[in-house]
Amino acid sequence: MGEIKKREWALKLAILGDPAVGKTSLINKYITDSFKENYQPTLGVNIVSKYMRLEEFNYKIRLLLWDIAGQNKYELTRQSFFQGCVGALLVYDMTRYSTFEQITIKWLEDFKKFSRSDGAYILIGNKSDLKDSIKVSSEEGKLLSQQINAAEYIETSAKYGENVEKAFKKLVLHILGKSKINHELD
């Protein structure tokens, strides 16, 4: 093939985690660089899209970010929620231990059961800015990420934007690294 064509690649990503861990805040911060103070539980499933520029690739990458909903609605739509999903951010709240435990009990389990077997996932400890209320240590986070074979462990603050862009970029790079696209680009 002679000419180099710019092609578009769409990646469907799931943002998973217990209620109020900061899933919607992470997405909002990433998409619009804004942080809403008022908590509005997501109803149903929210899908937002954003183009990502990666110098390394001659592809235009369009991210489709699937954000869960109230638990019950999600149970009903689980199948379509995960269909075609190639990666996930597994998010817990560093100030609430139960949300950390639910990563293995529920979210990773769901992702493995319902999405592609070669999907990549990153473990996210969110609310890193709430230094005085942290209940899950960085060591525990790192250890869990190794135990569950997560591609990375990243601590974020959706409130201040710390590591938010990095988290999405790392996830995409891991997905691209795992997929056939690398060979096509050679």
Give the range of 17-25, 112-120, 140-148, 175-183 binding ligand G3D by CB under 6 A: 17-25
User: In DSSP terms, which residues pair with 103 in a beta bridge?
Assistant: none
Q: Which of 156, 147, 123, 131 is CA-nearest to residue 22? A: 156
In whole angstroms, what is the distance from residue 33 CA to residue 21 CA?
18
Site for Mg ion in 8-47 (CB under 5 A): 23-24, 42
Closest approach of ligand G3D to the CB of residue 135, in Å: 14
Q: What are phi and psi of 44, to 5 degrees?
A: 70, -140
CA distance to 38, 132, 141, per residue, from 12 (Å)? 27, 35, 25
User: In DSSP terms, which residues pair with 8 in a beta bridge?
Assistant: 60
Q: Please select the residue that binds ligand G3D; options are 13, 14, 16, 21, rule is CB under 6 A.
A: 21
37 binds, among Mg ion, ligand G3D, none (CB under 5 to 8 A by kind): ligand G3D
Q: Three-state secondary structure along 100-147?
A: HHHHHHHHHHHHHHHCCCCCEEEEEEECCCCHHHCCCCHHHHHHHHHH
Closest approach of Mg ion to the CB of residue 44, in Å: 11
In whole angstroms, what is the distance from residue 72 CA to residue 75 CA?
5
Would you say 61 or 63 has its CB closer to ligand G3D? Answer: 63
126 binds, among ligand G3D, Mg ion, none (CB under 5 to 8 A by kind): ligand G3D
Q: Please select the residue that binds ligand G3D; options are 123, 158, 172, 175, rule is CB under 6 A.
A: 158
Q: Please select the residue that binds ligand G3D; options are 16, 25, 61, 168, rule is CB under 6 A.
A: 25
Would you say 94 or 176 has its CB closer to ligand G3D? Answer: 94
Closest approach of ligand G3D to the CB of residue 145, in Å: 18
Contact by Cβ (8 Å): 23, 67: yes
Closest approach of Mg ion to the CB of residue 58, in Å: 34
Residues that bind ligand G3D (CB under 6 A): 17, 19-25, 37-39, 42, 126-127, 129-130, 157-159
